[in-house]
Amino acid sequence: MRWCDLAFLHWPVPPELLRPMIPPPLAIDTFGGQAWIGVVPFRMEGVRLRGAPSVPTTGAFPEINVRTYVRAADRAGVWFFSLDAASRLAVRGARYLYNLPYFDAEITLRSEGGAIHYDSKRVHRDAPPATFLARYRPVGDGYETEPGTLDHFLVERYCLFMFDARRGLGLLDIDHQPWRLQPGAVDLAANTMVDPIGITLPHVQPLVHVASALDVRAWTRRAVE
């Protein structure tokens, strides 16, 4: 798959707020004693099984996720609180195969004058409402992150974790080249993406990075011992 027109919006939060939401043996991953909540809007292209053609309505669609960062033994990865997508087939497939918290959403995005205008509204039946309306854009030159920096901690994650009662804790390995980020700016008109998990974001501007595109491969689920 190819991820395009991304914004990484991050807010610091006390790790004790998130610990009750994370199943053991996962631990909250922190940087400088802070946990981080990310809201990440983007769009996908070329989504397909390896060696197979794309399926209509699942090959390209916009998505927005809410995430934090966790560790299990020697692996550092991503924990998703929600993933809203404008593909009903993709939502149902991810829920069935991985028990990931995907939700149906109506999402539009457009590029104008170097900025991305992104509008998402959750429409999943019986799910709590969540909306996101923003304009984001780059404001500096591109760069690759350095190990040990906050930027690297937030974006260079090569697995995601999931949990269900039947199969327990699992992970998906993810493979891609290092992110090439740009510092970004965002105008947030509405953001209630974090409300359903009962977290109030701090009243500060988020840390903003943007990225134009990256090719990504994901592997099959495997158990975490």
For 108-163, how does the pLDDT look when each residue is reduced to its tens digit (9 = 90+)? Answer: 999 999 999 999 999 999 999 999 999 999 999 999 999 999 999 999 999 999 99
- Say what the pLDDT of residue 165 is: 84
Look at strands 131-138 and 115-122 and give their pairing. Answer: antiparallel
Mean pLDDT on 62-85 = 95
How many structural domains comprise the chain?
A: 1
Residue 215 host element (H or E) = strand 207-218
Q: What's the confidence (pLDDT) of residue 58? A: 55
- On average, the pLDDT of the chain sits at 92
CATH number at residue 182: 2.40.400.10
What is the reported pLDDT for 52? 39
In the prediction, which pLDDT does 224 show? 85
In terms of residue numbers, what domain contains 112?
2-223
In the numeric block, the tokens 């943007």 are attached to 210
Give, in order, the Cα–Cα distances in Å from 89 to each of 61, 62, 95, 127, 197. 11, 13, 10, 17, 24
Its pTM stands at 0.93
Burial 10-22 (b: 16+ CB within 10 A, else e): bbbbebebbeeeb
Peptide bond into 183 cis (omega under 30): no
Query: In whole angstroms, how far apart are CA 197 and each of 20, 128, 185, 210?
Result: 11, 10, 25, 25
For 167-211, the pLDDT digits (tens) are: 899 999 999 999 999 999 999 999 999 999 999 999 999 999 999
